[in-house]
Amino acid sequence: MSRLEQGVCYTLLIIFSLLSVGPIVGIIVQSFTGNTIGHNWTLHNLSSAWTIGAFSHTMRASFIVAVGTTALCLVLSVLAGYAFGCMRFRGSTALFYIILLGMIVPLEPVVISLYYNFQKLSLTDTYQGLILAEAMIYFPFGVFWMRAFFRAIPNSVLDAAKIDGASDLRILTSVLLRPALPAILTLGVLLSVWSWNEFLLPLVVFSGGTVTTAPVNVAIFTGQRVVDIPSQAAAALILSLPALLVYIIFQRQFIRGVLAGSVKG
């Protein structure tokens, strides 16, 4: 690569980095300084938004939903991914592609029918209903992700375990679960962030108004304070901090899982 090409590449990288980071920096600065950017750094906007918006309750609700959704979807995805990746049964390929349709069909056309079905089952305005709904939405991607990992396992490993008399469940838990941890942790990070940021499903399932999640609360909060830009920025910062912390804590495992998937896929 010539110096001119390198210069063009670095210039484009700098431009796109500034475009990506610029709004985030703007939100952080405005959250701590208000309309007078660069002066009088204070926590007033954050504390005010936290109190007025009652974010302690909605953040708790989002935490419960994110943890429940991630745990349920991880268990189902690992089991189904192992079945489709390592087991051979009639119709497995067709069933796998049917499940993948869940990644193609958008949520908006089915959310109304989902609401009425949940209403008949008394699952609206409940944590169980929202956790089940989000797990159903994210399940196809989880199966796709874990199947790709398990298909990369050498057949010799599976054959050796079967010769020793291990059942499929024993092979999964005792032989494959430990090597699969990077892929599982990466999927867990993705699921938790997606669930935390989910807006439409909580808006529909929690339509009774007794409980709501942080993204819905931010939309309501900012809608009531259209001209109060510092408060809007503070609410957005409050919402984004947990997802950012999750990535910071698990960034090594996340990158390791992504790289392993890119090599094995």
**How confident is the model over 185-213, as pLDDT tens digits?**
999 999 999 999 999 999 999 987 778 89
CB 194 within 8 A of CB 160: no
Q: What is the mean pLDDT of residues 135-153?
A: 92
At 260 the pLDDT is 60
Higher-confidence residue of 49 and 41: namely: 49
CB 142 within 8 A of CB 191: yes
Residue 63 has pLDDT above 80, yes or no: yes
At 137 the pLDDT is 94
Residue 34 has pLDDT above 80, yes or no: no
Ranking 24-33, 107-116, 136-145, 172-181 by mean pLDDT, the lowest is 24-33
Q: What is the mean pLDDT of residues 47-70?
A: 91
Q: How far is CA 214 from CA 19, 83, 206, in A?
A: 26, 36, 12
Q: Rounded to whole angstroms, how far apart are CA atoms 248 and 265?
A: 25
Higher-confidence residue of 256 and 238: namely: 238
Q: How confident is the model at residue 60 (pLDDT cuts 50, 70, 90)?
A: very high
Q: What is the mean pLDDT of residues 111-140?
A: 92
Residue 37 has pLDDT above 70, yes or no: no
Instruction: Count other Cβ atoms within 10 Å, centred on residue 134.
Output: 24
At 245 the pLDDT is 87
At 39 the pLDDT is 63
Q: Rounded to whole angstroms, how far apart are CA atoms 40 and 22?
A: 21
**Could you tell me the CATH superfamily of domain 54-264?**
MetI-like (1.10.3720.10)
The ranges assigned to domains in the chain are: 1-42, 54-264
At 120 the pLDDT is 92
Q: How confident is the model at residue 84 (pLDDT cuts 50, 70, 90)?
A: very high
Closest CA to 233 of 21, 29, 59: 29
User: Amino acid identity of 231?
Assistant: S
At 265 the pLDDT is 45
Instruction: Report the chain's mean pLDDT, rounded to a whole number.
Output: 86
Query: What is the DSSP code string of 40-52?
Result: S--SHHHHHHHHH
Q: Rounded to whole angstroms, how far apart are CA atoms 265 and 144?
A: 11
Query: In a 10 Å sphere around its CB, with 0-12 CB exposed, 13-18 middle and 19+ buried, how is residue 265 labelled?
Result: exposed
Closest CA to 204 of 104, 129, 136, 103: 129
Q: What is the mean pLDDT of residues 61-87?
A: 94
Return the percentage of the chain with pLDDT > 70, whole number: 92
At 175 the pLDDT is 86
Provide the token pair at 245: 């912390």
